[in-house]
Amino acid sequence: MSDLKSKVAYLQGLASGMNVEADSKEGKLLGGIIDVLDEFAESFSELEESQEQLEEYVETLDEDLYTLENDMHDGEDLEEYMEVDCPRCGETVLFDPGIIEDEDIIEVTCPNCDEVVFVNDDDFETADEPEILHSRNSVIEEDI
């Protein structure tokens, strides 16, 4: 980058050593070309700085994501979910196990076909019993 700026400075020095009148056609052309080159060098320098900042930011995000993924695979902060297969379309439906204990009657529907797959009411029968599982690593525990 600084190499580009130094080359433009060298050209400026050469142009001034040519003893070309700044008001002449050639002087105006040469001065204009060097000014444009200088602006390009400056813009390129700013672009390089922005690129370096962006690369650092992406590296930081990548490291944070890697740490987060490792924490999840290590079993930290895993949430439990209930799992039921939809009798109509076979889609696996996950829901919060707190629904079972809720005093209100809550229906869980399949997001794929809108079939009711679970109701926290003793009168409702599911195609299969819900299972508790941990999200992200699909470790299934005992059937409820």
Would you say residue 91 has pLDDT above 50? yes
Grade residue 143 by pLDDT with cuts at 50, 70 and 90: very low
How far CA 106 is from CA of 69, 80, 112, 114, 121, in Å, comes to 33, 18, 18, 14, 8
Confidence at residue 49, expressed as pLDDT on a 0 to 100 scale = 94
List the chain domain ranges.
2-73, 80-143
Whether the pLDDT of residue 51 is over 90: the answer is yes
Q: How many CB atoms sit inside 10 A of residue 101's CB?
A: 7
Residue 82: pLDDT band (50, 70, 90) is: confident
The runs of H, that is alpha helices, within the chain are 2-17, 25-73, 98-101
Q: What percent of the chain has pLDDT over 90?
A: 33
Contact partners, residue 73, CB within 8 Å, separation at least 6 = 136, 137
